[in-house]
Amino acid sequence: MRSLMPAVLAMAAVVLASNILVQFMLGDWLTWGALTYPIAFLVTDVTNRVHGAAAARRVVVAGFVAGVACSLVAAGLDKTTLRIALASGLGFIIGQLLDVAIFDALRRRSWWKAPFLSSLAGSAVDTALFFAIAFAAFLPADANTGWATEAVPLLGQGPTAPLWASLALADWSVKLALAALALVPFRMLVRKILSAPVGN
């Protein structure tokens, strides 16, 4: 477990930063957390490549525990609701575990396929689960979620849809872009870690 400590700390830092930054808007459709959260997939994928799927799952569980702790603190400060906390936790754990499984299935293919395709699938499931559970009208609205069902043009110019659909589409678009950009640090980190002398 000691060899996983950098990954565990990185995952906890990403989850903590994202839980804080999600409170601050970046334009009309995003929060600053949308820029930090996708780094969680990079942490998972580097761990998977270097230490294997079982180790990556342990790092994901550590991130999930950090997320639950953040949600409990936020709930105590009236910054979130049980519905949003549940959506966040389920989206994270299911999306990340899917990422681990797909990466492991593709690990023997071209170096970029496993991290890119697993992040694509994991982030799609994460986004769909989070926004559907947190904001969709099939669950009862509350003070922190009712606003998201307001009908607006999709991303400000498309067909009319609930506001949360624009938020979800913008969020997933950022995750897609960052999944592609993360291939560069993924390649560099894996090479650096695997070439480090044993014992370091």
Task: Give pLDDT tens digits along the chain (200 positions).
Answer: 678 999 999 999 999 999 889 989 999 999 999 999 999 999 999 999 999 999 999 999 999 999 888 887 876 777 777 888 889 999 999 999 999 999 999 999 999 999 999 999 999 999 999 999 998 877 776 666 778 888 999 999 989 999 999 999 999 999 999 999 999 999 999 999 999 876 54
Give the chain's radius of gyration (CA, Å): 17
Q: Which helix (H) or strand (E) holds 31?
A: strand 30-31
One-letter identity of residue 182: A
Rounded CA separation 62/60 (Å):
5
Residue 106 CA to residue 4 CA, distance in Å, equals: 22
Structurally, what CATH architecture does the domain formed by 2-195 represent?
Orthogonal Bundle (1.10)
Token digits of residue 138: 């099939």
Q: Provide the pLDDT for residue 200.
A: 46
Distance CA 22, CA 38 (A): 13
Predicted TM-score of the model (pTM): 0.92
Residue type, 118: S
Phi, psi of 80 (to 5 degrees): -150, 175
Q: Which residues does 35 contact at the CB level (< 8 Å), separation at least 6?
A: 21, 26, 174, 178
- Are the C-beta atoms of 42 and 183 separated by less than 8 Å? no
pLDDT score for 142: 67
CA 172 to chain centre: 10
3-state SS class at 30: strand
